[in-house]
Amino acid sequence: MISIEKIQQTAEVLMAKAAIDIPDDYLTGLQEAANAEEGDLSSFVLQAMLENYEAAKQDRRAMCADTGVPRWYVKMGNTASIEGGPVALERALRLATARATTDVPLRPNRVHPLWRTDHNNNVGLRAPEIEYAFEPEGDWVDLITVHKGGLFGTDYRMLFPGDGIEGIKRFYLDSLIAFGKRGLACQPAIIGVGLGGSKDTTMVLGKQAACLRIVGDRNPDPKIAALELELKELGNSIGMGAMGFVGKSMVIDCHIEAAYCHTGGMPMSVHAFCLSSRRACARLHADGRVEYRTDPMWFTPFMRRETVEWQPEAEKLEELV
Amino acid sequence: MATGSGKIRRVSLNTPVTEEALRDLKLGDVVYLNGVVYTGREGVYKQCLEDGVPLPENLAEISNVNFHCSPAATPDGQGGYNVGALSGTASFRFAKWLDRWFKASGAKIIIGKGGMSSEDYRKFFVPNRAIYLTTVGYGTGALLGRGVKGVRKVHWLEELGLAQAMWMFEVEELGPFIVESDLDGNSLFERENAAITKNFEKLYEGTRPATLRRYGETDNRSDEVI
Ligand code: SF4
């Protein structure tokens, strides 16, 4: 049994970590981009960002004052059990979000879409979002918080099979350029591409690809992995750098996630996880241990399974013998 | 002098900023500010310009620098405030109020995210002898937070809420900011866009326009979305 108090405390720590500490994988990616950048202004911006991460860490203050839209991803091992059940878990995550808003402090960002009213704590109607996933093994719970920028850098389009890779590239470039000008997307970013699924799945997957995979991670499908690298390269050859200044740092990495879609369509989404790529994760074990990490480890073989049955690799191998 | 790259000029200004200092600024200069800087965005503009609420007394003498920003801040329980990070918000949405705002407030510098079009600069900024500074990154919230040494006053915290209230910050070397528009209304972003657009024909080679078009769609890639 995982104690609800532990969940709430851990969630509060995660809120602060996400807001303050740039994840190592993104930091390394940005340092590499800064070393390679030749545009004067673009270089200056990247240098200022590196200083900003340092200042945030030293002062324990948020790296960006725009809180974005804080949200939660929860993953449970199949035998995990939570004190008070999922209802208590959701309350704990909402409470942690509200508390962190005053304690860090974070700017209260969430308002009603029509009345523009808010509770000054980033909690409200359907806020923060909480998404769930499961793994076949384990009695642990993974808590992941992501504070993604909420206004620019994301787009959706219904493409068709005939549009092919050429159509994918066109929409990808269009999105990067439209939101890259003046740096509206706060690039260089981790670009997530969702391909397939129903329209809502496309959006959800693209966002997860941007926010829940670390820099350097490749899709297990070798052809998709090759396309990820090709799109990264393509984005960095636009001639545009940070803030839309002349340069070449647009994309720190590109992640593609696919889902089976309608036989007639090929919906696509593009998401940019910005210069303040804020994510933090922890695994809570049944015996009370808490392990913090920055890799969400969200996309597992189980999450990407294709058939009715799920068999761990080991069993499959045994059968073959 | 230079930070990051030898080719970038770094300038420190005191508020209220003089016309002479503004005239000296070139597109792409990096600016740091000392004195007082206040926030003001749609909430303040609407209430002061449309609903007739009077501006704070002697505003222009205290500061002529208006930051499009909402701070990450909370009351510290002792009548003061705990200011964490500070980041600009996208300014293009506020263009329609600016001419009247310059006249009412005496503001000469607008700071924010992303700037406006040179058309807006020529229409609203140039006649009012004002320029635009853009924040950097744009996520340099922690660096800007460090530049805030105190909160001189918060106007309309109750009425407008934390994000929309007018915060008057006492600042020391608040920055970096980049000069995006000059007194002639030129825009750094537009200059950079023009240079980048030249590459697009080659870049788009081997791509294909989507089968299903969208209303109002254009293939003119020198367009902007703001
Ligand atoms: S997109 Fe990211 S870096 Fe830019 S303002 Fe939003 S949270 Fe900050």
| Per-domain boundaries in chain B | 2-203
- The pLDDT assigned to A316 comes to 64
Q: pTM of this prediction?
A: 0.93
Answer whether residue A163 shows pLDDT above 70: yes
Q: Between residues 82 and 101 of chain B, which touch chain A (CB distance below 8 Å)?
A: 82, 84-87, 89-90
Q: What is the pLDDT of residues A277-306, one digit of tens each?
A: 999 999 999 999 999 999 999 999 999 999
Q: Which residues pair with A292 in a beta bridge?
A: A282
How far, in Å, from the CA of A275 to the mean position of ligand 1?
A: 7
List the 8-37 stretch of A: residues with Cβ below 8 A of B: none
| CATH number of this structure's domain B2-203, picked from the four choices 3.20.130.10, 3.30.420.40, 3.40.630.30, 3.40.50.10140 | 3.20.130.10
Backbone angles phi, psi at B130, to 5 degrees: -120, 160
Specify the pLDDT at position B155. Answer: 96
User: With pLDDT > 70 as the criterion, what percentage of chain B qualifies?
Assistant: 97
pLDDT recorded at residue A288? 96
Above pLDDT 90, what percent of chain A?
Answer: 92
Give the residue extent of every domain in chain A: 151-277
pLDDT given for residue B79 in this prediction:
85
pLDDT at B19: 96
- 3-state helix/strand/coil string of chain B: CCCCCCCCCEEEEECCCCHHHHHHCCCCCEEEEEEEEEECCHHHHHHHHHCCCCCCCCHHHHCCEEECECCCEEECCCCCEEECCCCECEHHHHHHHHHHHHHHHCCCEEEEECCCCHHHHHHHHHHHCCEEEEECCCCCHHHHHHHEEEEEEEECHHHHHHHHCEEEEEEEEEEEEEEEECCCCCEHHHHHHHHHHCCHHHHHCCCCCCCCCCCCCCCCCCCCCC
Question: Mutating which of A148, A182, A236, A275 best tests the B interface, going by the most B Cβ atoms within 10 A?
Answer: A182
Ligand 1 pocket member A43 (CB < 6 A): no
Instruction: Band the pLDDT of A314: cuts 50, 70, 90.
Output: low
pLDDT at B189 (0 to 100): 97
Residue A149, ligand 1, Cβ within 6 A = yes
Phi and psi at residue A248, to the nearest 5°: -135, 10
CA distance A314 to B7: 59
Q: Can you give the three-state secondary structure of A222-261, one letter per residue?
A: HHHHHHHHHHHHHHHCCCECHHHCECCCCEEEEEEEEECC
Tell me the per-residue pLDDT of A89-132, one tens digit each, with 9 for 90 and over. 999 999 999 999 999 999 999 999 999 888 989 999 999 999 99
In the predicted model, residues of chain B with pLDDT beneath 70 are 1-6
**Confidence (pLDDT) at B122:** 97
Give A24's pLDDT tier (boundaries 50, 70, 90). Answer: very high
CA separation, residue A291 to residues A104, A147, A311, B2 (Å): 21, 20, 27, 43
**SS3 of chain A:** CECHHHHHHHHHHHHHHHHHCCCHHHHHHHHHHHHHCCCHHHHHHHHHHHHHHHHHHHHCCCCCCCCCEEEEEEEEECCCCECCHHHHHHHHHHHHHHHHHHHCCCCCCCCCCCCCCCCCCCCECCECCEEEEEECCCCCEEEEEEEECCCCCCEEEEECHHHHHHHHHHHHHHHHHHHHHHHCCCCCEEEEEEEECCHHHHHHHHHHHHHCCCCCCCCCCHHHHHHHHHHHHHHHCCCECHHHCECCCCEEEEEEEEECCCCCCEEEEEEEECCCCEEEEEEECCCCCEEEECCCCCCCCCCCCCCCCCCCHHHHHHHHC
A121: which chain B residues are within 8 Å (Cβ-Cβ)?
A: none
Q: Pick the residue whose CA is nearest to atom 1 on ligand 1.
A: A149
CA atoms within 13 A on the CB side of A98: 12
Strand B65-67, strand A189-196: pairing: unpaired
* Residue B140 touches partner A, C-beta closer than 8 Å: yes
The residue ranking higher by pLDDT, B3 or A211, is A211
ipTM for the predicted complex comes to 0.91
CA of A30 to the centre of ligand 1 (A): 15
Low-confidence winner among A169-183, A220-234, A266-280, B151-165 (lowest mean pLDDT)? B151-165
pLDDT of residue B218: 86
Would an 8 Å CB–CB cutoff place A65 in contact with chain B?
A: yes
Give pLDDT tens digits for B152-182. Answer: 999 999 899 888 999 999 999 999 999 999 9
Q: Which residue of A has its CA nearest to B143?
A: A52
User: Given this model, what pLDDT does residue B1 score?
Assistant: 34
Nearest CA in chain B to A235: B203
- Position A51 pLDDT exceeds 60: yes
Check residue A301 and give its pLDDT. 95
**What distance in Å separates residue A231's CA from the closest CA in chain B?**
12
Cα separations in angstroms, B160 against A116, B46, B86: 11, 11, 18
Question: How far apart are the CA of B218 and the nearest CA of chain A, in angstroms?
Answer: 11
Distance CA A280, CA A262 (A): 34
Instruction: List the 124-143 stretch of A: residues with Cβ below 8 A of B.
Output: none
The whole-number pLDDT of residue B3 equals 41
Please give the distance, rounded to the nearest whole angstrom, from the Cα atom of residue B69 to the centre of ligand 1: 13
Strand B131-135 relative to strand B30-39, pairing = unpaired
From the alpha carbon of A272, which atom of ligand 1 is closest?
A: 1
Give me the pLDDT at residue A106, please: 93
pLDDT at A266 over 50: yes
Sign of CA dihedral B30, B32, B33, B34: negative
pLDDT of residue B163: 85
